[in-house]
Structures are given as structure tokens and as C-alpha cells.
């Protein structure tokens, strides 16, 4: 059952990414590209886990699972930059500041560095079976408690969503980030966590489409 769940979520994420690709081609921005990379990565993450419903523990499944951690480490924090980019494109005065842009880029880079240490350099995979699905999990734990990189990322995106809502009456980035924030805390409720990922991915993609169109209207 869980294998089917991951398969469906992965296909939905892939559909969101493909839709975003076609929409963003019309008005390309680097911020949108960063979002698409993340969403394609989420699709791979779920689909590679789904494969664990049919593949046994072993080298092939381990090889398919390993890139999941690289993808999360290297791409997830860039959503902070993408969210700031949406603010820049929609005319937020705060987001036009080169200083703030540099600060946000520094924070994202620091989070990538931390996550890379945990999930690439010190990656220690061990098989885990849950709900009939075998996957490889990282047993290395630098700090106890929730992972710092995703928590900081979603918190900053949530804040930027509030600013975007206030400035241009666009609430969907805030709503998507809030849903993901609440769903991520629902430990043990896999369906809620997956729904949160879907809503967040869709929210990030449509926000970049909105921001690009907003620039077009302003011109």
C-alpha cells in the first residue's frame, strides 16, 4: 500500500514539474528553474522509494536511493532564493536590496553546506522496511531533533509568503508553506506528509508562474 502511495505522489510531483516547465518556458527566470529542479527531485525521491515495494534490499536499491539524499542536500535550500526572487519580481522593496539578496544567498549556501555534510559526506545508509516498502535511510545524525536545513528553509519561505501576500494580495505561497510546515510535523502520518509536499511543490511552481506574469503585466 505504501509503495502505491509513493508511486502516486511521485507521479503527481512529476506532473507538477512538467506543467511548470511548459508554463515557465514562456517567461523564463532563474528562480523558476531552481524550483523546477527541486520538484523534479521530489518526484525522483518518491518514485525511487516506490521501487522498494518490488526490489529487495541490495546494491541496486541502494544505488537508486543514494541520489535522494544528494538531491535534498543540494537543492532544497535554494527554495529560499526562489521565494525571495518572487518578491523581487513582484516589486517588493525589501527584496530589491543587494545586501538582503546576498544575505539570503549566504544562508542558502550555508544550509547546503550543512546538509551536504550530513547527507553526502557522512551519508551512512541502512535498509529499513516500512509498510512493505524497503528503502535506505541515513543513520548519521549530526544533531538531535528536526533537521535544521528543511526547518530553516520552510520557515523563511513562510515569512516571504506573508510578505508576498501583504504586498500583492497573493496568498498561495504562504498557504503552501504553512501546509508543508504543519504536515512535516505530522510524524507517523505519511499521507499527511506527502500531501504537504504536493501542496508545497504546487505552491512554489504557481508562485513562480505568477511572479513571471506579474513582471509581464508591469511592462
What pLDDT does 130 receive? 87
Q: pLDDT tens string for the chain (219 positions)?
A: 788 889 999 999 999 999 999 998 888 899 999 999 999 999 999 999 999 999 989 999 999 999 999 999 999 999 999 999 999 999 998 889 999 999 999 999 999 999 999 999 999 999 999 888 999 999 998 777 778 899 999 999 999 999 999 999 999 999 999 999 998 877 666 778 888 999 999 999 999 999 998 875 654
**Closest to 171 measured CA to CA, from 214, 216, 206, 219:** 206
Q: Which residue spans within the chain are E strands per DSSP?
A: 125-130, 133-138
**Closest to 76 measured CA to CA, from 178, 147, 2, 7:** 147
CA-CA distance, 39 to 55, in Å (whole number)? 24
Q: Kindly report the length of the chain.
A: 219
pTM summary value? 0.93
What is the DSSP annotation of 84-145?
HHHHHHTT-HHHH-HHHHHHHHHHHHHHHHHHHIIIIIT--EEEEEETTEEEEEE---SSSS
Which fold, 2-218?
Rhopdopsin 7-helix transmembrane proteins (1.20.1070)
Q: What are the residues whose beta carbons fall under 8 Å from the beta carbon of 152, sequence distance 6 or more?
A: 77, 80, 107, 111
**Closest to 164 measured CA to CA, from 175, 179, 151, 149:** 175
Amino acid at each position: 500500500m505504501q509503495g502505491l502511495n509513493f508511486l502516486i505522489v511521485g507521479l503527481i510531483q512529476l506532473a507538477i514539474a512538467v506543467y511548470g516547465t511548459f508554463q515557465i518556458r514562456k517567461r523564463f527566470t532563474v528562480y523558476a528553474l531552481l524550483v523546477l529542479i527541486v520538484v523534479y527531485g521530489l518526484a525522483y525521491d518518491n518514485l525511487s522509494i516506490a521501487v522498494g515495494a518490488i526490489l529487495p534490499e541490495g546494491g541496486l536499491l541502494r544505488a537508486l536511493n543514494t541520489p535522494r539524499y544528494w538531491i535534498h542536500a543540494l537543492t532544497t535550500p535554494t527554495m529560499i532564493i526562489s521565494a525571495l526572487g518572487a518578491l523581487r519580481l513582484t516589486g517588493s522593496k525589501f527584496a530589491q536590496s543587494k545586501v538582503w539578496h546576498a544575505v539570503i544567498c549566504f544562508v542558502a549556501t550555508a544550509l547546503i553546506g550543512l546538509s551536504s555534510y550530513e547527507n553526502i559526506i557522512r551519508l551512512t545508509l541502512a535498509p529499513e522496511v516500512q509498510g512493505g516498502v524497503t528503502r535506505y535511510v541515513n543513520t548519521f545524525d549530526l544533531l538531535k531533533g528536526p533537521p535544521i536545513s528543511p526547518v530553516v528553509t520552510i520557515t523563511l519561505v513562510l515569512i516571504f509568503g506573508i510578505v508576498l501576500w501583504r504586498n500583492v494580495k497573493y496568498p498561495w505561497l504562504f498557504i503552501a508553506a504553512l501546509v508543508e510546515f504543519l504536515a512535516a510535523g505530522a510524524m507517523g502520518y505519511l499521507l499527511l506528509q506527502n500531501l504537504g509536499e504536493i501542496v508545497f511543490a504546487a505552491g512554489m511552481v504557481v508562485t513562480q508562474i505568477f511572479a513571471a506574469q506579474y513582471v509581464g503585466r508591469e511592462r
